[in-house]
Chain A
Amino acid sequence: MERWSKQSLDRTYVPPCEQACPLHQNIREYVDLIGQGRIMEALKVIRDSNPFPSICAYVCPHKCEENCRRGRIDKPIAIRALKRFAVEFGGDRMVRIEQKTLFEEKVAIVGSGPAGLSAAYYLRRFGYPVTIFEAHPEAGGMLRLGIPEFRLPREMLDLEIERLIRMGVEIRTGTPVTSLDLLFRAGYKAIFVTIGAQQGRRLGIEGEEMAGVVDAISFLRDVNLGLRPLLKGKVVVVGGGGVAMDCALAAVRLGSERVDIVCLEKREEMPAGKEEILYCEEEGVVIHNSLGVRRVVGERGRVKGLELMRCVSVFNEEGRFSPRFDESSISYIDADYVIFAVGQMPKVPEDFRLPISRAGTISVDPVTLTTGRPGVFAGGDAVTGPSSVVDALATGRKAALRIQDYLQHRYPFEKEFERPILKEEMKEKTVEMVRKVMRFDPPRLKVEERVSRFEPFELVYDWESAVSEARRCLRCGMGAEITDQERCASCLTCLRVCPYGVPYVDEKGRVVIPPSDCVACGICVTECPAKVILLRRPSDRRHIEEGLNYLRMASDAAEKRPTIVGFACQYGLFGTGSLSPLFSYAKGGLEVIPVLCVGKVEVEHIIKAFELGTEGVFIAGCGQRQCARERTLEFAREKAARAREIIGGLGLEVQRVEVFDVEELDIRIAIEGFIEKMGALKLERSLREER
């Protein structure tokens, strides 16, 4: 079984979103940072494992969202939209990366699609001189020729390519490579072939060659090169994938009278993303499911319509693509234009002398990406057949790592995850107990505004909705753990306080907190009488202590005591901003210690705050309405009550500890009242002392 490495303080599991992402982005971390309002740090986390976040922010098919465990409770987190928010609000445009050349071995990349750009990015980061060869006049591959502008603004693509060039990557456009030998002769030590799958497939049926029939790749290429053909009349797109949806949306924007989609799959089997299907339907595209094209019907060499037959099943028992039709159920659809979006295949120049599979793709070793030829690696759509941008970026990274291994004469070794992965599903009881919080989808332009323009219609979140959305995250795999079973007194306090019914007693009588259920609220951590429960993420463990220590050092250095110390929810302070007015009282000596949920405040923290010499201590929650947690303020109130008991025993007034609920009272009014009260207590005391 996989384990955490001994040196690592990080005891978290790899959550399902991270497992599903081809780039294994640390999604949980950046979503949490967005929730805390730390957008630039979120962008940094994204950049750590994604070479082109601004591209993914627009076009990622987000497998992470499909695997998000929140989906079982209400709806998955809108991860891609949050990434776009982080990219735009975190200032990705301003990111500059500089890289010196550290090695002599030159690497050539054939093709400037997402896989090629990604490989170039990483090889350059490792310090190799990199040259990209691109046959087309502009770099980008399918990002430029395949994806329509309303899905990915060209400005974003240009930005990323510009950044690559600044890093020192050489891009030779308009330079088709016909032979790899020439590249080796030119001194390149390794070659990454990523020429994509740029040839549209045809079905091989009657009438396909008629005027008005095109394949999706040629159609989109024309559209994206700015040759925007006017499609007068009815357009039928054949296919159920993302490319078909793009064609349909493009056809809507090209003045067509009506757009229909015909596909083999049933509605729920369609490979296109749910959002893409939704956008098509919003724009009036009609989708006809479970239909196959029998033949193209035309008149004098021009298409007039399609003869369709019922598709009984798309996949065979083994799950392979093998459609079966019912030839007795025939229908007909009118069409002035037909776009076949039924797959693509690569066109590998023969002089490359690379092994080609039966499907027409390049055969490679799946682990090392090596082809039969020494020094030649291949990846991307040319190897896998058409797939997504994020898959291409992942392949590019993998290729860069393997090429680095090759050039340094190392044995290729890759461990997919450093930490164990979270496998089990959340138990039913917990699913029911977790608070339901509405998903915020990012806004988009109205249909009438968007159908006439080739501009992105999905808009970016505003701050508040992004933060509210991010805070829905369940923090899978970073929950609490009993660090020392020996010291655990089996008191069952954790089991009794957990708002989600997570801990249980196993058959050996041990208390267990299953990582698959815990949502890391931290309540049990503050209650465990033996202090053996800790949160799995290091930054969650001591942040309040550290805040107090920092405050102690700062007040010692300034020789000034804080008059009031407040433990305030970080999410409320910087995320939603419901508590941000607190900062305007800093001049009066109010010190705020941000806490990642007030449920994590312990009695001892309050006592330690008094040790700093403060007059009063308060706890301020973000407001239950915005909180994804249950009863946190209630727990904070219990802690405050205990702290009052203690300070009361020392002759301090119990009013010096307060808990604010911003849902009940505006934070400004609450804090001003508290400051006034503390002032009055001070006066009273000095009068008493005079007497």
Chain B
Amino acid sequence: MIVAQQKPLEEIIGMLIPYDRILILGCGTCVTVCNVGGEREVSLLHSSLRLAQSRGLAQGKVFSEYTVKRQCDKEFLAILEEKAREQDAVLSLACGVGVQVVADYLPDLAVLPGVNTVFMGAFSEAGTWDERCAACGDCRLAATAGVCPITRCSKGILNGPCGGAKNGKCEADRSQDCAWILIYRRLEAKGELDRMRRYYPPRNFRTTSRPRRIQGR
């Protein structure tokens, strides 16, 4: 799932300076799950901006709010014909994908990102999210017992461990587990340690050109 983080309120207020009528637009999918862009956060941001106005910031602006099911498909955005009418800007609390689809859909309006999209990851414990996938386009999880060395090893090496781990923790970040030690332990438990012997040639990231596109589906 896509994980995002709310932008600081100062930055949001700064972005809004040129506009008078602003629609705060939430997204009911990933950003709702990671609790930055769902209906609750839309409403809270709305209140916070009103409070800012009462403190003399962002004055003279009119805010409205709405949350769609998913911003990354234009079919869900049809409602914006009505909601975004006579608005100057849309402050989207969706991930970067959503912001772009909304921007395409409403070419005459300023579409502003209210959150920073940070990674693809999973919930681990109360309020904590961990990165799990880098969308590298060449998945090796079968060989690494379901632990991704690209995202979970701070060096992203394909043939580990690097030798710098101490007590199972990474030398670059002592709070993180060494991904390659995790891989080793899991393979050991499965009796597949021979996978460790294989050498994986370095990947050539230059061959993939951006933006990537998948066709024929």
Q: Give chain A's interface residues, CB within 8 Å of chain B.
A: 486-487, 489-493, 496-497, 528-532, 603-604, 607-608, 610-611, 613, 646-647, 649-652
Contacts and interface: CB of A to CB of B under 8 A. Distances in A.
B47 interface: yes
Nearest to B50: A611
B57 to A, nearest CB: 7
Contacts of A487: 28, 39, 69
Given A489-B38, A530-B40, A650 B8 contact: no
A529 B38 contact: yes
Contacts of A496: 123, 126
B195 to A, nearest CB: 33
19 contacts: A487-B39, A489-B28, A491-B33, A491-B35, A529-B38, A529-B39, A603-B44, A604-B43, A610-B54, A611-B50, A613-B54, A646-B9, A646-B44, A646-B48, A647-B51, A650-B9, A650-B55, A650-B57, A651-B55
B46 to A, nearest CB: 9
B35 A611 contact: no
B51 A530 contact: no
A607 B48 contact: yes
Contact of A650 (B29, B35, B43, B48): B48
Contacts of B57: 650-651
Nearest to B126: A496
Given A530-B28, A604-B44, A649 B39 contact: no
Contacts of B69: 486-487
Interface in B1-50: 8-10, 28-29, 32-35, 38-41, 43-44, 47-48, 50
A652 B54 CA distance: 12
Contacts of A490: 33
Given A489-B28, A530-B40, A652-B55, 19 more contacts: A486-B69, A487-B39, A487-B69, A489-B32, A528-B40, A529-B33, A529-B41, A530-B32, A531-B39, A531-B40, A604-B47, A607-B48, A607-B51, A610-B51, A610-B54, A611-B50, A611-B54, A649-B8, A650-B57
A603 B51 CA distance: 13
Given A489-B38, A493-B35, A650 B51 contact: yes
A530 B38 contact: yes
Contacts, number: 74
B62 interface: no
B109 interface: no
Nearest to B46: A604
A95 B126 CA distance: 52
B72 interface: no
A607 B46 CA distance: 10
B43 A531 contact: yes
A491 B41 CA distance: 14
A481 B205 CA distance: 49
Contacts of A652: 55
Nearest to A648: B9
A545 to B, nearest CB: 11
A652 to B, nearest CB: 7
B133 interface: no
B32 A650 contact: no
B52 interface: yes
A573 B69 CA distance: 41
Contacts of B44: 603-604, 607, 646
B54 A529 contact: no
Nearest to B42: A531
A532 B47 CA distance: 19
A649 to B, nearest CB: 3
A486 B39 CA distance: 13
Contact of B52 (A491, A492, A604, A650): A650
A649 B209 CA distance: 40
Contact of B40 (A497, A529, A646): A529
Nearest to B11: A649
A606 to B, nearest CB: 9
A235 B61 CA distance: 88
A490 B57 CA distance: 36
Residue from A496, A532, A646, A650 having most chain B Cβ neighbours under 10 A? A650
Contacts of A528: 40
A649 B51 CA distance: 11
B43 A649 contact: no
Contacts of A650: 9, 48, 51-52, 55, 57
Interface string B105-130: 00000000000000000010010000
Contacts of B43: 531, 604
A491 B40 CA distance: 13
Interface in B53-78: 54-55, 57, 67, 69
A529 B126 contact: no
Contacts of B51: 607, 610-611, 646-647, 650
A489 B40 CA distance: 12
A646 B41 CA distance: 12
A532 B123 CA distance: 21
A496 B128 CA distance: 12
Sorted nearest first, the 3 A-B pairs with minimum C-beta distance are A649-B9, A529-B38, A491-B33
Contacts of B38: 489, 491, 529-531
Contacts of A531: 38-40, 43
Contacts of B126: 496-497
Contacts of A493: 35
Nearest to A652: B55
Nearest to B48: A646
Contacts of A613: 54
A491 B32 contact: yes
Given A529-B32, A529-B35, A530-B28, A608 B40 contact: no
B41 A649 contact: no
A649 B38 CA distance: 20
Contacts of B32: 489, 491, 529-530
A496 B57 CA distance: 37
Contacts of A532: 39
A259 B123 CA distance: 69
A282 to B, nearest CB: 51
Contacts of A604: 40, 43-44, 47
Contact of A489 (B10, B33, B50, B55): B33
A490 B40 CA distance: 15
A681 to B, nearest CB: 14
Nearest to A649: B9
